[in-house]
Structure 1
């Protein structure tokens, strides 16, 4: 059976294909294309959750590809990042960065995120149209992660372009070139920071490397690149899809406008409904693994379809409905187990601030084109809009924003 994630129509509307796949079996062997290597695609929620936490499904891509001929030219800093490691290396690397993404650390960043959001929104044309992706969803997370890492403002446009190229579907040469550009830039930035130390996250990682050698130089570069890319890519896609989901359901948009304290508790349902991560990164079975009644032989690749699992009707009643009253805790958009996204608290804080600002400043914002004319990024790993044209329609001078005390936050 062919892999539905490789079909041309998949980026625009993956959920019917996912539903058809899951109805047959929540774990199936699929082919990437004519003559392509097979892999096992996991679409059921319980099976996906189990796969994401099973230590027998390794993420050590270096071990998987050892001795295999490859025509790819990814930089090792990208090919062998923390995402592609197993314990104990993964445990050691993750421990070095988790402190910068705790709830307390993120709370301290909120004033900066709010100011950056306002600065971007101040530049919007009065009536539009404005591309919300290009003018907000892309630049804001880049600004935030670059500030956190200590990337100079003058370098951020290039970083943003290289990161986008890293997810260019069907363009391996572009992806490989971007991986080298990012890694080479990170090596130069690390050298600059050694000469002129600061207090950013990257400076702290350099101290860990140079102080007690918990990081090799290669690991330092790789971790810096990973944080730079992963620190904004998921958030960018989530901001676009969350705003679109609400604009296509005006009653839900107006509900949050009246009760903005409910925005934070609505984020999990928005993440479940349209996950910014379509398919989790590569895994392979180190020994035979039975999943959903299907035996996966040792050495076989396994792909976990996050978007499908988040709409599994066995876990979520009426999964194709956006229900802001639903308790969507347990969705898999940030992963599960030891590889769960370390930056999840930061992503949710940025989304909370952005949605509140849009609700307050542009209460009548609307799509500038019909939904079927929107363009989506062509990539199987992440799901995001290439552009989201909107008419912002700012609030009238003197109009008071909704009283946040009028809503009661849900838990």
Structure 2
């Protein structure tokens, strides 16, 4: 058996069984929760259209008085329509044509400064890079990128939470802290970043998401929530992945040479395998609205599904992405080995479930992978030296890892 290449291993997190039902045992305010660790069962659940609703990212605590729920946490026909209209900004061909040149310019500028400085802390550089790229796509281009980055980062200073509990396991004091830590940065984000962008797009619409939202009749509050969603999702997850991918590449000279000399398709195959192994978001939560049978026939790829049970309405489902992405029945032998180009069954994404699946599959996958490749390919061409490995931490809000303090020396 090949040794594991995975670096982000959360203490106490189980990889088995493939399907597990945890009963609250009569405890008030605690949900029955299913843990789904098999990729076939997970895909079946996520592809059961309109049978479940979003329960992660504190979606069930977002006020329903918003006219239009943000795309990350909306459901049903409204969500389908939102995705259809936004897809034109994030389609692979559009991303290549519209954003590649600006990604390259941004990466070259930041790396040139890092070379002048003799080195960089990669998570800081990746933060500025991903915020600038995301800002262009969204339309948040009327304010300072470094200051906007600080505002977005401060939004994640939240107390821990337990998704299985109605009160998220927080005390009143923790809820008060969550409100202050969440609302103050959001208000600053509105005043300094979103409001100027909205005013500019009202005068002169452009090919970006804020202009699209204005055309769709979104109000200021709705646009703010969407910008928080796109800004944090585009910034946080891609930032962490860039650092994780660099950690793997710089720790494996043979893999780094393969990536450095490969075509774009070959490089993306390497990155897809890294994110399959190291998904940034480790858990996807759904709330069943109707009964969902996880053992109802074969998976869409033809893989038999075994051991499924019906999920009852109201029950919570935890799709354990890290475990599902390492399911040997889906990804083959040695699932924890980093093997770019490994053969996969028809219909299985080379990134596994790292970008979700079904109606809530992340539409930003092409953007995230291309912007990661642009920066990493240029970084590795400079032959950086890893001076300090990153510190691994965990964020309850996105159910994912954080990597801080990765120091690189750039002598060239």
TM-score, normalised by the number of residues in structure 2: 0.77
Cross-structure match for 2:121: 131
Could you give the per-residue CA deviations for residues 201-240 of structure 1, whole angstroms, max 9, x where no partner exists? 145324423xxx4x46554443333222222222112111
Q: Mean alpha-carbon deviation: is it higher for 373-382 or for 309-318?
A: 373-382
Relative to structure 1, is the Cα distance of residues 332 and 193 closer, same or farther in structure 2, using a 3 angstrom cutoff? same
Relative to structure 1, is the Cα distance of residues 390 and 61 closer, same or farther in structure 2, using a 3 angstrom cutoff? closer
For 1:100 and 1:383, the matched residues in 2 are separated by 28
Relative to structure 1, is the Cα distance of residues 388 and 36 closer, same or farther in structure 2, using a 3 angstrom cutoff? farther
Equivalent residue for 2:76, pick from 87, 92, 99:
87
Equivalent residue for 2:368, pick from 325, 340, 347:
347
Relative to structure 1, is the Cα distance of residues 22 and 60 closer, same or farther in structure 2, using a 3 angstrom cutoff? closer
Cross-structure match for 1:265: 269
Structure 2 stretches of 5 or more lacking a match?
Answer: 1-5, 161-177, 295-306
Relative to structure 1, is the Cα distance of residues 29 and 193 closer, same or farther in structure 2, using a 3 angstrom cutoff? farther
Equivalent residue for 1:110, pick from 100, 106, 110:
100
What pairs up with 1:317-396 in 2 under 5 angstroms?
Answer: 317-327=333-343, 330=349, 331-360=352-381, 362-363=382-383, 365-369=384-388, 371=389, 374-379=391-396, 381-394=399-412
Which has the larger helix fraction?
A: 1
- Kindly tell me the number of residue pairs found equivalent between the two proteins: 364
Relative to structure 1, is the Cα distance of residues 255 and 63 closer, same or farther in structure 2, using a 3 angstrom cutoff? closer
TM-score, normalised by the number of residues in structure 1: 0.77
What pairs up with 1:233-248 in 2 under 5 angstroms?
Answer: 233-248=236-251
For 1:78 and 1:313, the matched residues in 2 are separated by 44
User: Is the partner of 1:376 in helix, strand or coil?
Assistant: strand
For 2:242 and 2:57, the matched residues in 1 are separated by 33
Q: CA deviation at 1:378?
A: 3.2
Q: CA deviation at 1:272?
A: 0.4
Cross-structure match for 1:403: none
Q: Mean alpha-carbon deviation: is it higher for 285-294 or for 317-326?
A: 285-294
For 1:271 and 1:278, the matched residues in 2 are separated by 11
For 1:165 and 1:296, the matched residues in 2 are separated by 37
Q: CA RMSD of the aligned region, Å?
A: 3.4
Cross-structure match for 1:44: 38
Q: Mean alpha-carbon deviation: is it higher for 80-89 or for 111-120?
A: 80-89
The answer on 1:307 being equivalent to 2:322 is: yes
